[in-house]
Chain A
């Protein structure tokens, strides 16, 4: 009985993920958001002509690798929290809470959606980069392997964290403003689109605490030749450190996400939903209904 129930929930979760993914692909507004990221990255790469200092490697390759890392970072820490907050506001979380197996299925669906979005945009970026601006491709089997584990571990580092953030943010309007500022600061501080060694050492040290710097560094190791190590702070790719920092964030993310998501789901009720809706209607964010 237990077995069949779990199977049913897993099937429901995968079905939900598939349907939400199809909706994303059919929603021009949301889809164009992801495509714009890729277009901007490729356009920036096309305008950069110099080399990575001290090497003969095009700076555009370093920039594209950095953008690739940023795309993963954004899916986990910007898109995912926004989806969670929006769906909580609409009452989807409450409906799933009132449905047997609804919350596990919801989490499965979000994993499907996030992984597909991240891998899809990453593949599109690398493909468009390679075709349009002679961008970098993984170097040999080892390069592909590194690309795979850095992507996987990078997502593990940011997705649970994004879920935790989505669980505590007040509403979709404020959520975006609250998230974007630190994300943009990290984008600049982490040396994603230009060599981090050009930044002051204290900034480099702050950036080293957060996952984006390590995701970018890991992807550079997969996409750039070893000569590019000259532009790294340690003069090497520091892959063990990449693995360590990302794992630490993944663990922290899970430790935060599980209780916070549970709390968010437990707190949902019809009256809270209506109260938030009234508040939103008063502030003019959504038209009053019903």
Chain B
């Protein structure tokens, strides 16, 4: 994946110390975010971590308790129609317009925007040309989601929100979807904010990942950076001369493998090096939050 340097001033989403409380419950405890133009940014976190609240604040669907937010240069709470036209939304819970025909629905939503995409080209882009005349409620789950994506980008949004976009997709549909998102980001410069549970998807698509746990961003960086940040070390596995499987954890797998080869003076059977993964980092973060490592800190904050 190629990463282009992003000029610092081209910030599409900017959040500073955003908090959200429902009654006594603090859902967000000071979230900071910077998302740059053309970037695919993934927001990860367990259920209840505040992902949905964060995204809905950015979408202008929810009022924050405190903090500053700018999305495409405007405060989402005061976003007007012109501002709204520059956003695209793909939510997982949409089952709307069941009786409309696919092409008809897409052509209808094109009429709201000043410079829409061509509906027929868009259907081809999301692979629904053969379903153009079909009624929306007769689409499969994956087709329905691809239609949602088409509806989300028909107005040529600068910023696209994707909420758990590939839930329920088969591997092939997921692959196709990933290619589509990459194409939008790389070729058309669309900024994408992706929320997902799927770590593989986040790693595959995202330029940067933020992990939201307990109402705060606990980790932020490229997938590789985050993976490295895990306390976990790389694991080297091989089969010893007597046929028993062996495994060893090390900070320097290259050194270990070299030593193994030197000792064996030849190939090593069943050699495998497992780098720490994004999942290791993620589980580590979530576990630390659950363990109460952060609890003391939060309680201090509450007492203060």
Residue in B96, B104, B108, B167 whose beta carbon sits within 8 Å of that of A91 in the complex? B96
B288 part of interface (Cβ distance < 8 Å): no
Cα A269 to Cα B58 with chains together (Å): 12
What residue in chain A is nearest B95 (Cβ atoms)? A90
Cα A277 to Cα B82 with chains together (Å): 30
B59 part of interface (Cβ distance < 8 Å): yes
B65 part of interface (Cβ distance < 8 Å): no
Residue in A92, A98, A105, A290 whose beta carbon sits within 8 Å of that of B92 in the complex? A290
Per-residue CB proximity of B78-108 to A under 8 Å, as 1/0?
0001101101010111111111100010001
Given A16-B108, A19-B108, decide whether A271 and B96 contact each other with a Cβ distance below 8 A: no
Per-residue CB proximity of A4-46 to B under 8 Å, as 1/0?
1100110110011001000100010000000000000000000
**Is the Cβ of B141 less than 8 Å from the Cβ of A270?**
no
**Is the Cβ of B112 less than 8 Å from the Cβ of A99?**
yes
Interface residues of B in 82-138 (CB under 8 A from A): 82, 84-85, 87, 89, 91-100, 104, 108-109, 111-114
**Is the Cβ of A11 less than 8 Å from the Cβ of B96?**
no
Q: How far is the CB of B159 from chain A (nearest CB, A)?
A: 12
Q: How far is the CB of A1 from chain B (nearest CB, A)?
A: 9
Q: Contacts of B93 on A, CB cut-off 8 Å?
A: 91, 270, 273-274, 277, 290
Residue in B61, B111, B112, B113 whose beta carbon sits within 8 Å of that of A269 in the complex? B61
How many B residues, CB 8 Å from partner?
Answer: 36
Cα A92 to Cα B148 with chains together (Å): 12
Q: How far is the CB of A141 from chain B (nearest CB, A)?
A: 41
Cα A196 to Cα B186 with chains together (Å): 72
Cα A270 to Cα B93 with chains together (Å): 7
Q: Contacts of B82 on A, CB cut-off 8 Å?
A: 5, 100
Interface of A is mostly: helix
Q: Contacts of A92 on B, CB cut-off 8 Å?
A: 96-97
What residue in chain A is nearest B61 (Cβ atoms)? A269
A139 part of interface (Cβ distance < 8 Å): no
Interface residues of A in 77-107 (CB under 8 A from B): 87, 90-92, 94-95, 97-102, 105
Cα A91 to Cα B93 with chains together (Å): 8
A289 part of interface (Cβ distance < 8 Å): yes
Cα A240 to Cα B136 with chains together (Å): 49
Q: How far is the CB of A183 from chain B (nearest CB, A)?
A: 25
Cα A270 to Cα B165 with chains together (Å): 13
Given A98-B59, A100-B85, A290-B168, decide whether A274 and B112 contact each other with a Cβ distance below 8 A: no
